Amino acid sequence: MPYQYILFEADQGVATITLNRPEVLNSFNMPMAAELQGALRAAADDQTIRAVLITGAGRAFCAGQDLAEAAPADGSPAPPIADIVRRTYNPTVRAIRAIEKPVVCAVNGVAAGAGANLALACDVVIAADNASFVQAFSKIGLIPDTGGTFFLPRLVGLARATALAFFGDRLSAADAQAMGMIYRVVEAARLDDESRALARRLATQPTRGFGLTKRAFNQSLANDLDAQLEVEAELQAEAAGTSDFAEGVRAFLEKRQPTFAGR
């Protein structure tokens, strides 16, 4: 499928999706969001894809909502903001959480507003050492969206989430890692190689097990302990029915590396 605002490439079991509006720091207009959602659907449906990598073209990861779309300079009416949020961001976050394959986010530069929170919705976030995160919403009188009010306090605690949201200051990648917001920081020149290596490694592992792990984590965000223990029992039964489980145990007993088929 041809895309105008993103790049999509499938290689070695990894679908790489690159937000590609570098002249506006890859900020979101509705068509780019629709393309991203379409690419996530394509990656979910393709059995040969076993991991997804999301990154940005140029010097930024994503500057959030394209403010020119939200407030057109020619005075033409802007789409209602609730529609933008419901059509642009909510389905994107739901798609990232629902795809039962690992989603790696390589933050290659500034991630602001919805761009910052898009990254936080992903499973594994790796950032360049010159990247930064900005809860830019307060600067324009908005509240954090794109799942920010959900993920941010869970990742960094309510005190830090509130301060990040209120002040809207730029947070370095190193500070984001130190407060548990992201997984890892690497030298900017190494980001491409390191993020691809992570995604390729994940693509050779037990994909169904990862999908079920993700489903369990998703449910844990709303469950109490008893309910979550039951989720684990049910999903473990499903994981134990996969050929990857049989292969993993066989390989252990035969003292060799397993070859996981992702089924």
128 touches ligand T3D by CB under 6 A? no
164 touches ligand T3D by CB under 6 A? no
- Is residue 128 within 8 A of residue 191, CB to CB? The reply is yes
142 touches ligand T3D by CB under 6 A? yes
Question: 171: helix, coil or strand?
Answer: strand
152 touches ligand T3D by CB under 6 A? no
Selected binder of ligand T3D within 65, 92, 195, 242 (CB under 6 A): 65
Selected binder of ligand T3D within 70, 155, 216, 261 (CB under 6 A): 70
DSSP string, 62-85: E-SB-HHHHS-TT-PPPPPHHHHI
Smallest gap from residue 28 Cβ to ligand T3D (A): 7
For 56, the token pair is 């940005």
Selected binder of ligand T3D within 8, 49, 57, 66 (CB under 6 A): 66
Question: Measured between alpha carbons, how far is 194 from 159 in angstroms, rounded to an integer?
Answer: 32
Selected binder of ligand T3D within 13, 56, 102, 113 (CB under 6 A): 113
Smallest gap from residue 164 Cβ to ligand T3D (A): 14
Question: Measured between alpha carbons, how far is 18 from 26 in angstroms, rounded to an integer?
Answer: 9
Per rule CB under 6 A, count of chain residues that contact ligand T3D: 24
Smallest gap from residue 27 Cβ to ligand T3D (A): 4
136 touches ligand T3D by CB under 6 A? yes
Question: Measured between alpha carbons, how far is 100 from 122 in angstroms, rounded to an integer?
Answer: 12
24 touches ligand T3D by CB under 6 A? yes
165 touches ligand T3D by CB under 6 A? no
Sheet architecture: strand order including 60-62: 60-62, 110-112, 132-134, 170-172
Strands (E) located in 110-172: 110-112, 124-128, 132-134, 170-172
Which amino acid makes up residue 236?
Answer: Q
Selected binder of ligand T3D within 35, 123, 145, 244 (CB under 6 A): 145
CA-based nearest residue to 60, from 90, 29, 18: 18
- Is residue 16 within 8 A of residue 39, CB to CB? The reply is no
140 touches ligand T3D by CB under 6 A? yes
Residues within window 75-104 making contact with ligand T3D, judged by CB under 6 A: 81, 84-85
Query: Residues interacting with ligand T3D, by CB under 6 A?
Result: 24-25, 27, 63-68, 70, 81, 84-85, 110, 112-114, 134, 136-137, 139-140, 142, 145
